[in-house]
A and B are shown apart, each in its own frame.
Chain A
């Protein structure tokens, strides 16, 4: 029987990884399926050696992590995509270059970071990862061992027609937390009332307003500001983990979280608007 908590973590991660692959290869990179009760060693054996395996471990007091594995033809094609080249023109008889291996290690690094961010989001707690480790697996006879976790899943992808897999070794603590988060979900949230239409409302809805985001503030005597110069540092009362305040024309609108979207600051609402 499938465990909804595991499935939710696995799907969020697979989506995040697909997103990163598609930034490199667009529609040539596809999500091909999920095995939510995988055996890590068996999942690797489905790929043809030699393989490139990049793994990261979660940091902190949990055991687990992610392993991205891809064969040589896939490595060549993914590296080509990342360098803006046509993957159909690669030479499969040549040896893999350092740069190709490095490119795929970087791609895996970005996938793992996206996977950790997605896991953080579904768990509602920050998940940190260590630096990636790249290994070449010449044959399946080579013993590859993974940390023992109660749950493992594998997500399959195709990269320019070549298979790749992401094996997730899910720590027990994540599953416990996910079960909790799922049981806390509200049942069937009610849709908000539709906005009444009418001449006055139409005019009101067209009024321009100024939305601002305040990340913190501090009360202090004016005297402390006198004599400040470039390089002076003002520490505000709010901590790094506190929500920011979204205001509309200076009035509180909703609490939010700062995020980065395509290099721009963005803010995610933490609660319904006041």
Chain B
């Protein structure tokens, strides 16, 4: 069980993620609708795990990832995005993401990624 921050620009996806995580016994400490809010919420809540969408308005997920890792190099971030192209995956991993979940996903896949990130 972990304290998780969710960042996604669609309300539907935030609901799907929070439902899946709640079923897995995790606590949702914050929900962000863009990268800017995600970085701020990360500072405020210091979650154990953060999930980031890539394509978001204001600030995209990759930029938010870099800023979160700069705040806390041990931050555990899971990218969760429909962009399954290899360059995005590699760029995320290179910038410190622990895993990359491609949408649409099964709830179990997200729970697995969180368990793996917590190691």
Q: Do A and B form a real pair?
A: yes
The interface of chain A, by Cβ under 8 A from chain B, is 20, 23-24, 79, 82, 98-99, 102-103, 105-106, 109-110, 112-114, 116-117, 120, 126, 129-132, 231, 240-241, 257-260, 262-263
State whether B56 touches A131 (Cβ < 8 A). yes
For residue A59, give the distance in angstroms from its CB to the closest CB of chain B.
10
A59 to B57 Cα, complex, angstroms: 13
State whether A257 touches B86 (Cβ < 8 A). yes
State whether B102 touches A260 (Cβ < 8 A). yes
A79 to B16 Cα, complex, angstroms: 12
State whether B89 touches A105 (Cβ < 8 A). no
Q: Within residues 78 to 93 of chain B, which ones have a CB less than 8 A from any CB in chain A?
A: 81-87, 89-91
A208 to B105 Cα, complex, angstroms: 33
B contact residues around A117 at 8 Å (CB) = 83-85
For residue B15, give the distance in angstroms from its CB to the closest CB of chain A.
7
A105 to B14 Cα, complex, angstroms: 13
- B13 sits at the interface (CB 8 A): yes
Known contacts A102-B10, A106-B13, A263-B101; A131/B57 CB under 8 A: yes
A116 to B54 Cα, complex, angstroms: 14
Known contacts A260-B100, A263-B102; A241/B11 CB under 8 A: no
23 A-B residue pairs with Cβ-Cβ distance under 8 Å, sorted by A, are A20-B104, A23-B104, A24-B104, A98-B11, A99-B11, A99-B15, A102-B11, A106-B12, A113-B81, A113-B82, A113-B103, A114-B84, A120-B85, A130-B55, A231-B74, A240-B91, A258-B86, A259-B86, A260-B84, A260-B86, A260-B89, A260-B100, A263-B109
The interface of chain B, by Cβ under 8 A from chain A, is 9-13, 15, 55-57, 60, 73-74, 81-87, 89-91, 94, 100-105, 109
State whether A109 touches B87 (Cβ < 8 A). no
Name B53's closest neighbour in chain A (CB-CB).
A109
Indicate which residue in A103, A129, A131 contacts B9 across the interface (CB closer than 8 Å).
Answer: A131
B contact residues around A102 at 8 Å (CB) = 10-13
How many A-B contacts at CB < 8 Å in the complex? 75
State whether B12 touches A82 (Cβ < 8 A). yes
A106 to B13 Cα, complex, angstroms: 7
A24 to B103 Cα, complex, angstroms: 11
18 more A-B residue pairs beyond the given contacts A241-B87, A259-B86, with a C-beta to C-beta distance below 8 A: A79-B12, A99-B11, A102-B10, A102-B12, A102-B13, A106-B10, A109-B10, A113-B82, A113-B84, A114-B84, A116-B83, A126-B85, A129-B55, A231-B73, A259-B84, A260-B84, A260-B86, A263-B101
The winner among A106, A117, A126, A259 for most chain B CB atoms within 10 A is A106
For residue A51, give the distance in angstroms from its CB to the closest CB of chain B.
18
